[in-house]
């Protein structure tokens, strides 16, 4: 069991060192947005951040915001989208716990994009047309999820909704965080850095009314929050004990994405006052076979020699299915026409071998006799006809794999290096209010960003950008609500 | 922890009392079909059944087989279906662990229907057009799942696939089991009743080579199986310990459907030799609001006053969403135009009260101020326009709820009596071969029917008839495979 920090009663507080309306714990994207909205709604806000500066995991992320419904970028790049289509996609793919909150986020998505730009977050009016996991260029719009993958492409008109901030490199998230942190500073929102919240304080009725924090040099601080405490302290990606307890399918070769403070402190603070959690077993794993996109024309088989996921799925969806396969084993099979090495070397998809014939490959991979031969005969027949009857990979990615020699890459979940981020967190309502396991709000407490459960409960329905996109949106809502203001 | 019976080594067997090719444990629908196919493939088969006669839970079920792809009944009733559409529906709704097995079941579904009829299982060429949970008449074909519910109706052309056996009453399954048991008897398939398998026997290599069974009067029996042991012993519905361990969301008011021997013995036997399991937290709960169908024109809200599931979903899907709501609380809201009491009285959906106005109802139900008013204003606007933008309930079921007075039924998961069946079970391959957690087959062991994991992993994607339909099909496959014969 993971140790939960004990919550304090008022009698355990020697005195308040500071007294504010709203405390925001953590200054990543959700915390920054919460602080800005609470401040602008008239609240006296204090941000407490463990690191020596703001930014959080958001600043080392790839800087993608999932936004849609017809944003200025979508329009400039010639894509049709509307809130209904965005909501259809979200609903069909996520079976969300809180459909009303999802609908609001979709209805408000264009306005939220405009708000981000107004804060100075830069987005180009450009698109990237290829198949990418992330972009190192400043191009903005691209498909980052399962919008074009079956069955979602039949339920909602596909539109790209990944909006990447106009920065280069793998950590372009910093380019989004810089203006948000500048706005916080410009507007005089108080922030204490190197300040680690170690406990919540509850009054007699159980309402959260403040926090205890520690600073370097053994300083202990007690801060009162007259209106609310907003937990925006990130995920539990790096808490090995919480991972082991909640995510049995994780492999020893899996590696968490995140920063040291993604140790679950936010979730644990919520648990200390009786919060509920959701989707704690959910992760987005990734070890993409692409780029190059041509590898999507290969097939992925398990140790029974059978296909099990459409290869053009979002890489996180593909990875979830790999994780569930017998022995967590999977191979990417290609022929000489499409042969290439997967470009993202950090995943260590190793080339098993090359073979002249399919029966030799089947034997070389130790697959049951006839299994891969049947799978490839079926697939090649369907690919020639332009319709993948088994898994509905889209026609663009179909071609018979019949140009030997053949090769296989080992993409097993427990052999390759799958990166992951956790999806679980505190159970919340649409305004970020933290709920107990029965759904009753815990007075004075909010959770947003990766300290709260994501909308998708498994990586099968995640799309890149949903963390920053929805984290910033619900961060704003929580900020306004904590400050006592209505939304919109 | 649930006690798992210890497996025996050969040295613990004092001697074989009988020696056969294939042992089938349990004589419900899956076991009967397995026994028939193994016998017809030339194997010497012995059925061991705990009850004093065959039939199992199948014989007390409502007798629905999920079949499609263009069966004789579908054709006679004027419905178009084909294996592709059936597979599209199954794939989109279940994200199955084993897509290849699902595809085979769909491709073979018409032939499997013909086989069932050839055994004497009677199906009328009739259909029921209303919205029913089960039928007490002899009518055959009806919609039993989410085929017409969004988003599945957009992914696959809806067709009714519930094929109810031509028997009356709530336990029409007996009418399906009678001919199957007769065929077993006619063909001289040996069966021992009142015979309880208490342990599997493994050889030095770990292969399952026999069983130990007990009979009344303290008789112990050891039976050798030269080719295989097929576990067809039903679900763990009635094992309170396994339920508590695996299904945290279950409520004290939930009641399992099943017979006393659905105590998980089959799953436990598999675990004793290192089998893997799947979907152990999955259940199909049900406490349908319909019939009468007019109640589907009402809305279902949670304690936040928000809708969360399309009310025209399959009742098991609706129940799963109710189970996940805050406080597991939900209300069915109707106006005077559609008011009726839910007909299935065993579920005990109680009338909370009637109110003249929506604000009074909101207050009477203790919902947040304004919440139900907003929900109903939005819904009524959408219903008038014929499009449910939030949850996509189909237009047939949309009407503004504006004819006061209003009424609410409490359909909370922890207040009403939700019946449930478990979906989890042993992990198996397409031939019913039992797999270890890593997906490696355990030699000589098969599991079919409710002792194996179902294709749907949650009740959100189940349809009535999937237990008998797929249980009988994979039972047949396992029988042939254990006998050493290929399929088809």
Chain A nearest C-alpha distance from B390 (Å): 7
Residue A299: pLDDT over 90 = yes
Q: B229 pairs with which residues across the strands?
A: B23, B445
| Segment 410-449 of chain B within 8 Å of chain A by CB | 429, 435, 438-440
B chain contacts of residue A155, beta-carbon cutoff 8 Å: 150-151, 154-155
Per residue in A19-72, pLDDT (tens digit) is: 999 999 999 999 999 999 999 999 999 999 999 999 999 999 999 999 999 999
Q: What is the predicted pLDDT for the residue at A376?
A: 98
Chain A nearest C-alpha distance from B133 (Å): 23
Residue B231: pLDDT over 90 = yes
Tell me how many degrees the CA angle A96-A98-A102 measures, rounded to the nearest 5: 80
Q: State whether A327 and B439 contact (CB < 8 Å).
A: yes
B428 and B210 in contact (C-beta within 8 Å)?
Answer: no
Tokens of B432: 């019913």
Q: What is the predicted pLDDT for the residue at A486?
A: 87
Q: What is the predicted pLDDT for the residue at B462?
A: 97
Q: State whether A151 and B329 contact (CB < 8 Å).
A: no
Tell me which H or E stretch contains B67. none
Tokens of B318: 């609706």
Share of chain B above pLDDT 70, in %: 99
The region that residue B404 occupies, defined by phi over 0 for left and psi between -120 and 50 for alpha, beta otherwise, is beta
pLDDT, average across residues B59-83:
97
pLDDT, average across residues B64-84:
98
Considering only alpha carbons, which residue of chain A is nearest residue B389? A84
Q: What is the mean pLDDT of chain B?
A: 96
Residue B1: pLDDT over 60 = no
pTM, two decimal places: 0.92
Tokens of A394: 């889209």
A142 HSE (CA, 13 A, CB side): 21
Give the C-alpha separation, B249 to A437, whole Å. Answer: 11
Tokens of B438: 């890593």
Q: Which residues of B3-32 are buried (b: 16+ CB within 10 A; e: fewer)?
A: eeeebbeeeebeeeebebbbbbbbbbbbbb
Q: What is the predicted pLDDT for the residue at B2?
A: 67
| Nearest alpha carbon to residue B299 among A449, A100, A330 | A100
Tokens of A152: 């979602």
pLDDT, average across residues B97-105:
95
Q: What is the predicted pLDDT for the residue at A326?
A: 87
Q: What is the predicted pLDDT for the residue at A5?
A: 85
Which sign, positive or negative, has the C-alpha torsion B163, B67, B429, B23? positive
Could you tell me which residues come within 8 angstroms of residue A217 by beta carbon, excluding any fewer than 6 positions away? none
Higher model confidence: residue A470 or residue A437?
A470
Q: A353 pairs with which residues across the strands?
A: A408
Q: What is the predicted pLDDT for the residue at B17?
A: 98
Give the C-alpha separation, A86 to A162, whole Å. Answer: 12
Give the C-alpha separation, B460 to B203, whole Å. Answer: 41
Q: Quick one: CA torsion of A90, A92, A97, A99, rounded to 10 degrees?
A: 60
Residue B478: pLDDT over 90 = yes
Tokens of B98: 């084993």
B173 and B165 in contact (C-beta within 8 Å)?
Answer: yes
CB atoms under 10 Å from CB of B147, counted, come to 23
Per residue in A203-227, pLDDT (tens digit) is: 999 999 999 999 999 999 999 999 9
| Nearest alpha carbon to residue B465 among B118, B105, B100 | B105
Q: What is the predicted pLDDT for the residue at A132?
A: 78
B chain contacts of residue A88, beta-carbon cutoff 8 Å: 151, 392
B127 DSSP assignment: B
pLDDT, average across residues B314-323:
96
pLDDT, average across residues B307-317:
96
The per-type count for chain B, helices as H runs and strands as E runs, is 13, 21
Give the C-alpha separation, A253 to A417, whole Å. Answer: 5
Collapsing DSSP to helix, strand or coil, A197 comes out as strand
pLDDT, average across residues B6-20:
97
Higher model confidence: residue A438 or residue B242?
B242
| Nearest alpha carbon to residue B326 among A102, A104, A436 | A436
Check if A460 contacts B (Cβ < 8 Å). Answer: yes
Per residue in A110-144, pLDDT (tens digit) is: 999 999 999 999 999 999 987 778 788 999 999 99
Strand extents, DSSP E, A63-195? 64-66, 141-142, 162-164, 190-192
Q: What is the predicted pLDDT for the residue at A321?
A: 96
Check if A370 contacts B (Cβ < 8 Å). Answer: no
Residue A375: pLDDT over 80 = yes
pLDDT band at residue B4 using 50, 70 and 90 as cut-offs: confident
Phi, psi of B51 (to 5 degrees): -75, 175
pLDDT band at residue A4 using 50, 70 and 90 as cut-offs: confident
Chain B nearest C-alpha distance from A100 (Å): 7
Q: Label the pairing between strands A419-422 and A255-256.
A: parallel
Q: Which residues of B109-123 are buried (b: 16+ CB within 10 A; e: fewer)?
A: bbebbebbbebebeb
Considering only alpha carbons, which residue of chain A is nearest residue B99? A308
A chain contacts of residue B317, beta-carbon cutoff 8 Å: none
Q: Label the pairing between strands A419-422 and A283-286.
A: antiparallel
Q: What is the predicted pLDDT for the residue at A2?
A: 67
Q: What is the predicted pLDDT for the residue at B235?
A: 97
pLDDT band at residue A289 using 50, 70 and 90 as cut-offs: very high
Q: State whether B329 and A439 contact (CB < 8 Å).
A: yes
Name the packing angle between helices B109-118 and B99-107 (round to 10°).
Answer: 50
A441 DSSP assignment: E
Q: What is the predicted pLDDT for the residue at A102?
A: 97
**CB nearest A390 (choices: B103, B429, B439):** B103
Per residue in B343-394, pLDDT (tens digit) is: 999 999 999 999 999 999 999 999 999 999 999 999 999 999 999 999 999 9
Per residue in B174-220, pLDDT (tens digit) is: 999 999 999 999 999 999 999 999 999 999 999 999 999 999 999 99
**CB nearest A308 (choices: B99, B307, B328):** B99
């Amino acid at each position: 069991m993971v140790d939960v920090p004990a919550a304090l009663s008022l009698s355990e507080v020697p005195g308040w060192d500071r007294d504010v309306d709203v405390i925001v714990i953590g200054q990543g994207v959700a915390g920054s947005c919460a602080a800005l909205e609470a401040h602008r709604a008239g609240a006296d806000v204090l941000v407490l951040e463990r690191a020596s500066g703001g930014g959080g995991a958001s600043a080392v992320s790839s800087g993608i915001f999932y936004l849609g419904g017809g944003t200025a970028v979508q329009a400039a790049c010639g894509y049709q989208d509307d809130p209904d289509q965005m909501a259809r996609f979200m609903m069909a793919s996520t079976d969300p716990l809180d459909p009303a909150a999802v609908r609001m986020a979709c209805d408000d998505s264009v306005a939220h994009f405009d708000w981000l730009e107004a804060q100075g977050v830069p987005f180009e009016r450009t698109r990237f047309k290829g198949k990418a996991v992330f972009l190192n260029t400043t191009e903005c719009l691209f498909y980052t999820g399962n919008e074009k993958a079956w069955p979602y492409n039949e339920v909602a008109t596909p539109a790209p909704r990944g909006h990447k901030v106009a920065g280069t490199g793998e950590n372009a998230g910093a380019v989004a965080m810089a203006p948000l942190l500048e706005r916080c500073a410009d507007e005089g929102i108080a922030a204490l850095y190197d300040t680690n919240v170690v406990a919540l304080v509850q009054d007699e009725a159980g309402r959260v009314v403040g926090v205890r924090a520690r600073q370097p040099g053994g300083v202990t601080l007690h801060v009162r929050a007259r209106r609310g405490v907003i937990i925006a302290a990130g995920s539990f990606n790096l808490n090995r004990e919480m991972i082991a307890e909640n995510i049995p399918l994780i492999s020893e070769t899996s590696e968490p994405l995140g920063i040291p403070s993604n140790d679950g402190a936010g979730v644990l603070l919520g648990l200390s006052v009786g919060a509920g959690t959701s989707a704690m077993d959910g992760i987005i794993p990734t070890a993409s076979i692409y780029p190059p996109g041509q590898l999507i024309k290969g097939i992925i088989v398990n140790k029974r020699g059978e296909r099990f996921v459409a290869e053009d799925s979002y890489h996180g969806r593909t990875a979830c299915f790999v994780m569930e396969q017998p022995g967590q084993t999977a191979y990417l099979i290609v022929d000489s026409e499409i042969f290439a090495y997967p470009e993202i070397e950090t995943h260590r998809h190793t080339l098993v071998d090359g073979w002249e014939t399919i029966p030799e490959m089947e034997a070389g991979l130790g697959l049951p006799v006839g299994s891969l031969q049947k799978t490839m005969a079926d697939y090649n027949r369907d690919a020639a006809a332009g319709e993948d009857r088994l898994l509905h990979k889209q026609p663009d990615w179909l071609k018979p794999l019949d140009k030997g020699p053949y090769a296989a890459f080992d993409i097993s979940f427990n052999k390759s290096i799958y990166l992951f981020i956790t999806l679980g967190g505190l159970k919340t309502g649409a305004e970020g209010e933290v709920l107990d396991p029965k759904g009753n709000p815990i007075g004075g407490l909010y959770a947003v960003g990766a300290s709260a459960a994501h909308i998708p409960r498994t990586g099968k329905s995640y799309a890149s950008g949903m963390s920053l996109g929805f984290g910033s949106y619900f961060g704003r809502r929580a900020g306004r609500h904590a400050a006592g203001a209505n939304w919109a």
